[in-house]
Amino acid sequence: MTGVAGTAAQLHAIRQAHVAVVGGGIMGAMTAAHLIELGTEVTLYDPHRLGSGPGASVDTGRSFRVHYGKDRTLVSHAVRSFRLWKAWEQKLGRPLLHATGKMLLEEPGDRHAFESWQTMRKIGLPADRLSGGMVAQEWPGFKAGAATVDRLGGVLEPHVILDALHVWLKSRGVHFRGEAMDLDARSVEDEQARLHFDAVVLTAGAWTRRFIEAPVEVTRQELVYFDAAALGDRLNRLPVFSHMESGFYAIPTAGDGRIKVANHHPGPVGHPDGDDRKVTPAFEQAARQFLGAHLPELSEAEVVRRHVCFYTGTADRDFILDRTREGLVIGAGFSGHGFKFSPLVGRLLAQLALGLKTEVAIDRFAMHRQALHGKLIRLAV
Ligand SMILES: Cc1cc2nc3c(=O)[nH]c(=O)nc-3n(C[C@H](O)[C@H](O)[C@H](O)COP(=O)(O)OP(=O)(O)OC[C@H]3O[C@@H](n4cnc5c(N)ncnc54)[C@H](O)[C@@H]3O)c2cc1C
């Protein structure tokens, strides 16, 4: 099958196909969901219920943003993803993306913040540059020198999204199976059997290298959750905020009255299997300092949770969306910023699995691109 799905013969072939998805984090779930929408039979392998387990998609808050400096391609993919999230809100019948805005704290002469604002404005997207006074006026109690605000930004709730997707996929006949022990481009083996498929999609996050040699590295990222109930109603409207140079960012989750603080720069190499998930006192102290510098009334806030999560990163911080010569479809290397793009990624992986033309060009995400073997790039947050 090649070309955009359209002819009767193609639609028939899509409906006859049976695709396996190995890995039920957000990327696997969204791939399965789009395959189901196309009418394909799907078997989804994961040892855990969607939204639970040790994967990267399990948490209470993920930042959504459209700003990506001068990178118009990622801006355009983020806008497309924004629309897809809105469509998923309709399908799942609940809000998924809380439109709080995303604030980029600015240093004097900050090129990245300026370029982010400029790129968004040039293509007619809502973004503002605010002085410290304007920030405090809009969000009383918030301290910033200056900031760029991406008005399409906000907070996604992974636990809500994956739980709803689990129910949706189940009600549409997806076959759920456990841990995959072995796979190739046309079959997957678990403890019970080796089953054969028309295509296999691998979305196993930090476990990708159990199955294929992929140029990805897994790094350990620390997270500290502060009690922010003292902010009262202001917590509902507080934007995600981040600082490019230090890498620190904060995600308010009004649902549980908390603010999560973490750092986007890749941490030490690690792996979820066997990690004690302990946060170092030095990191907790740095997280508190970041929060207190911008929300002084939370400088003594209680820490209500400490956790460690793992990025599966590439050297250029772009994803891997590709098909091997043998035909195995791979979605990996989401480098700590993939969640927001997942509805689009799911469509692209589903299109690859069915041999369809992808709706956006994916050459940039090829597994054998040179940049995957180059210097590590620091992605702005
Ligand atoms: C701390 C942290 C903060 C982040 N913040 C943001 C953010 O603010 N905004 C944003 O857009 N992105 C963010 N990201 C990135 C985003 O969360 C990830 O890119 C995304 O969740 C990756 O999803 P995934 O499905 O590829 O991997 P995972 O969610 O890890 O899923 C992989 C799945 O594979 C399963 N699996 C493993 N082995 C097997 C096997 N043998 N058989 C079957 N299944 C198997 C696992 O159980 C797991 O469910 C963050 C990531 C982390 C870790």
Torsional class of 242: left (φ above 0), alpha (ψ -120 to 50), beta (otherwise) = beta
Q: Which fold has domain 84-154+217-311?
A: D-Amino Acid Oxidase; Chain A, domain 2 (3.30.9)
**Cα 243 to ligand 1 centre (Å):** 23
Q: For a substitution probing ligand 1, which of 62, 156, 217, 340 has the most ligand atoms within 8 Å of its CB?
A: 62
The CATH number of domain 8-57+159-213+316-373, selected from 3.40.50.300, 3.50.50.60, 3.40.50.2300, 2.40.10.120: 3.50.50.60
Tens of pLDDT, residue by residue over 87-125, are 999 999 999 999 999 999 999 989 999 999 999 999 999
Question: Which atom number of ligand 1 is nearest to the Cα of residue 205?
Answer: 27
Nearest CA to ligand 1 atom 51: 336
Strands 41-45 vs 18-22: parallel, antiparallel or unpaired? parallel
Sheet holding 217-227, edge to edge: 127-131, 146-150, 102-105, 240-243, 248-253, 258-263, 217-227, 303-313
205 CA to middle of ligand 1, Å?
5
Q: Which atom belonging to ligand 1 lies closest to the Cα atom of 249?
A: 8
- pTM, two decimal places: 0.97
DSSP 136-150: HHHSTT---SEEEEE
Angle at CA 134, nearest 5°, toward 102 and 296?
75
Tokens of 244: 């490019």
pLDDT digit string, tens, across residues 140-161: 999 999 999 999 999 999 999 9
Domain 84-154+217-311 in the same topology as domain 8-57+159-213+316-373: no
Domain coordinates in residue numbering, the chain: 8-57+159-213+316-373, 84-154+217-311
At residue 111, what are phi and psi to the nearest 5 degrees?
Answer: -65, -45
Q: What is the atom index within ligand 1 of the atom nearest the CA of 221?
A: 1
Pocket residues: Cβ below 6 A from ligand 1:
22-28, 45-48, 53, 55-57, 62-63, 179-180, 203-207, 221, 223, 262, 309-311, 334, 336-340
Sequential pLDDT tens for the chain (381 residues): 445 557 898 899 999 999 999 999 999 999 999 999 999 999 999 999 999 999 999 999 999 999 999 999 999 999 999 999 999 999 999 999 999 999 999 999 899 999 999 999 999 999 999 999 999 999 999 999 999 999 999 999 999 999 999 999 999 999 999 999 999 999 999 999 999 999 999 999 999 999 999 999 999 999 999 999 999 999 999 999 999 999 999 999 989 999 999 999 999 999 999 999 999 999 999 999 999 999 999 999 999 999 999 999 999 999 999 999 999 999 999 999 999 999 999 999 999 999 999 999 999 999 999 999 988 888 878
Nearest to 360 by CA among 71, 27, 68, 76: 76
